[in-house]
Amino acid sequence: MSDQTIKLIAAGVLLVHGLGHGGALGALAWIRLRPGASTGDWAAARSWLIPSLSGETATAIASAFWVASLVGFVVAAMSFWGVAVPGSVWRPLAVAAALVSTTGIVAFFGTWPLFNTFAALGVNVAVLVAVLWLRWPTEAMLRG
């Protein structure tokens, strides 16, 4: 696989994962605006860590996690691809977004569909392992 293909896939994963957090925001908005409507397995925000939070407060906190994750991953993707953001910032942004996303997922675990939850956790772990442990992709690959 060529370096350009790898770069495209990696930037695409960061971008799609970031935009996926927008889906969680959309679900929260849908639940708030249409409380009786069917949402499949999506439920109103609630935290098992602090079960006494009101629905409004839990929604606000969950929304903050998803907005930060969305922005972090989208900007990391743009930086990785070298679009409108310095290329050197993608790694810390991707790591920060993955940590914020993971924290939000853990804090609100059980609120959203398991497939979405585990898929998001999987991408977060992959980002953290690739960037922090494997130091991937290499600088040579990024320049190539």
For residue range 2-55, list pLDDT tens digits in order: 777 878 888 899 999 999 999 889 888 888 887 776 667 777 888 999 999 998
The pLDDT tens digits for 73-93 are: 999 999 888 887 777 788 999
The larger pLDDT score, comparing residue 95 to residue 84, is at: 95
Domains identified in the chain, total number: 1
Please list, residue by residue across 114-127, b when 16 or more beta carbons sit within 10 angstroms of its beta carbon and e when fewer do: eebbeebbebbeeb
Residue of 104, 114, 95, 133 lying closest to 14 (CA atoms): 95
Q: Identify the domain containing residue 47 by its residue range.
A: 3-143
- What is Dmax (Cα atoms) for the chain? 53
Model-level pTM greater than 0.85? yes
Nearest CA to 62 among 125, 31, 115, 107? 107
